[in-house]
Structure 1
Amino acid sequence: MKIRRKKKTIMGWIYSFIIFILIIFFLRGIVLFGLKKINMILLPVQSKIYTTSVGVRETFEILTKYKEIFKENIELKKKLALVEYQDELLKNFAEENERLRKLLKIKEETRYKTLVAKISFQNIQELYTTFSIKLGEQDGVKVNMPILIEKTLIGKIVETSAHYSKVRMITANDSYVSCLAENKILGILSGNTGESLYFKPTSTLESDLKIGEEIYTSGISDVYPKGLYVGKIKNIISENNGLEKIYEIENNLNIYNLNEVIVITGE
């Protein structure tokens, strides 16, 4: 009897274990099926989360690369600007060197005592009237000293201070200079606040000049010595029914690019 009971008990445990295993497998299938369903339901959400995370990562990488490219672009611009500045500086040095060579040659050829002065100020509203130079009383500059640009008369000193002077140009509206044409015809040169000057002979009987003839200072003035080049005849203007002639004079000066001038300080 005891043996039979023992067998029954063992068989009961075996059956119970088998049933337990079957239940586990059954439940596992249900759980897996449920998880599959849940995954299918959550797939759109997971997809959006994944896409968003990828987009964020790509955006971050783009921003990082943009910063690097932007920084590199700034550095390249700086280098380019530096090269352009150096090129412009070399060009300016070359131009200044050429101008100074010309001025030195003029100083050696002229019979006058001269000083070379830098333009210190030029008012855009007074381009053909006045400008200032960086030389003054302490440099020996005085009122009425003539001013040349290369070999061409441009004006005279009208005001001085210790280190600066003001120049009144012969192109100013109220400027008058006694001049001679090449054929010794005497006349008055006047300005008109513009590029051109106007030469009017003192005698209508001698006003027979031709285009291209050069005009020089006469030396009659106490300010300008004789023989300073002023310009050449560009055009002939007739007045009073052709009885009177006025000659338009050009001096080929670039008023927008004044850099250095020559001050005549004496013989």
Structure 2
Amino acid sequence: MAKKKLFSKPAAKSSTFEKKLESSSTILLLFSYRRALEKTFIIIACIVSFLLLLDMIKPKAWLYIKSNAQQTLQGILAPIQSQIHYLTTSLSFQSPIKTENALQQQASTIRGLHSKILDLQAELNALSEMRGTQDAPETSYNTITAKIIGFPGAPFKQSLLLNKGSIDQVNINDPILYQGSIIGRVIKTSPHHSYGLLLSDPRSKLPVVIDDGKQKGIASGMSNNRLKIRYVESQEDIEPGMRIRTSGLGGVYPPQLNVGNIEGMKSDYLVARLSINPRHLLFVSIARTQDIKDSLFRENDDA
């Protein structure tokens, strides 16, 4: 009986040592992946910041580096995402057995870094999509790229908060655009932020033309991403689906920007649906009102 006890104790110690060794190796592996993810996050954050700065200084340069930036980002993310998937899958099976605090903390940190990397990738893709339209009318104006921070006052007020302000030369009444479509205009600025009034807000007023200028009217917001168009001379030739554009009257909004399409007719006004829902966007462009006025004056002089 004594011999059996002597042989059983080393086996228990060996089993405990192997478990600790396996747990330690897993923690070291997670530390190494955490460092790799931190470096990757810093690199991607620098890329996004550089592209935003370049867009402010020289907007046209974006068109030449867009494809290369996307390929580089995908090359960086592909192996990292593969390893993250492997680790998270493995940890899901190991967690009931290994409950050490250090292991759980590292796993949580890695998941957080992975989420941040995916957010940065989504922002870069949104920037690429927004700036990739070379023939959009907004590219003929000097614009600033701004990130949408939120929509304060919803649902009673249709407004948005942007991360660019007076220090970035954003002024009141500057139009807010997206790929040749009008979103709204700036109504308030601070040094580092600005507030925009969306077209869907009832306080918004916009001179428009219907179907390439056959009819004119004044559009105002109806909430729920729709407009009410009044002061139209006649509804006889107007049909659902007709395109609505800015007229350029007033010098605030550039002419020929896309607004939306006719959705229906009432007795004394038209109902239109906006072509862009700002709540689906991450970035927008802000055009300078003075540049628009100068452009309109030049067009009148040429005419």
- TM-score band w.r.t. shorter chain: 0.5 to 0.7
Match of 2:286 in 1: 263
Match of 2:216 among 186, 195, 213: 186
Deviation at 1:124, TM superposition (A): 5.4
- The 3-state SS of whatever aligns with 2:140 is coil
Q: Deviations over 1:127-164 (max 9, x none)?
A: 75222212222211111110013332111111122222
Instruction: Name the amino acid aligned to 1:224.
Output: Y
- Residues 1:246 and 2:258 aligned together: no
Deviation at 1:167, TM superposition (A): 1.0
Q: Which 5+ residue runs of structure 1 have no aligned equivalent?
A: 1-67
Instruction: Name the amino acid aligned to 1:236.
Output: G
- The 3-state SS of whatever aligns with 2:154 is helix
Instruction: Name the amino acid aligned to 1:196.
Output: R
Q: Tell me how far apart the structure 1 counterparts of residues 251 and 284 of structure 2 sit (CA, whole Å).
A: 21
Q: For residues 166 and 87 of structure 1, do their structure 2 counterparts lie closer, same or farther at Cα, with a shift above 3 Å needed?
A: same
Q: Deviations over 1:164-194 (max 9, x none)?
A: 2221111111211000112411111110232
Spell out the pairing of 1:1-267 with structure 2 (5 A cutoff).
72=99, 78=105, 81-106=108-133, 109=136, 110-123=139-152, 125-126=154-155, 129-184=158-213, 185-204=215-234, 206-233=235-262, 235-239=263-267, 244-255=268-279, 257-265=280-288, 266-267=291-292
Q: Tell me how far apart the structure 2 counterparts of residues 98 and 127 of structure 1 sit (CA, whole Å).
A: 31
Instruction: Name the amino acid aligned to 2:161.
Output: S
Name the count of aligned residue pairs: 193
Q: Which has the larger radius of gyration?
A: 1
TM-score w.r.t. length of structure 2: 0.56
- The 3-state SS of whatever aligns with 1:72 is coil
Larger deviation: 123-132 or 141-150?
Answer: 123-132
Percent of aligned pairs sharing the same letter: 23
Preserved contact between residue 175 and residue 182 of structure 2 (Cα < 8 Å) = yes
Q: For residues 73 and 252 of structure 1, do their structure 2 counterparts lie closer, same or farther at Cα, with a shift above 3 Å needed?
A: farther
TM-score w.r.t. length of structure 1: 0.62
Deviation at 1:122, TM superposition (A): 2.5
Preserved contact between residue 183 and residue 278 of structure 2 (Cα < 8 Å) = no
Q: CA RMSD in A?
A: 2.8
Q: Tell me how far apart the structure 1 counterparts of residues 134 and 162 of structure 2 sit (CA, whole Å).
A: 18
Q: Tell me how far apart the structure 1 counterparts of residues 123 and 156 of structure 2 sit (CA, whole Å).
A: 21
Structure number with higher strand proportion:
1
- The 3-state SS of whatever aligns with 1:208 is coil
Q: For residues 70 and 159 of structure 1, do their structure 2 counterparts lie closer, same or farther at Cα, with a shift above 3 Å needed?
A: same
Q: Tell me how far apart the structure 1 counterparts of residues 101 and 186 of structure 2 sit (CA, whole Å).
A: 49
Q: For residues 108 and 140 of structure 1, do their structure 2 counterparts lie closer, same or farther at Cα, with a shift above 3 Å needed?
A: farther
Q: Which 5+ residue runs of structure 2 have no aligned equivalent?
A: 1-94, 293-303
Deviation at 1:94, TM superposition (A): 2.4
Preserved contact between residue 177 and residue 221 of structure 1 (Cα < 8 Å) = no
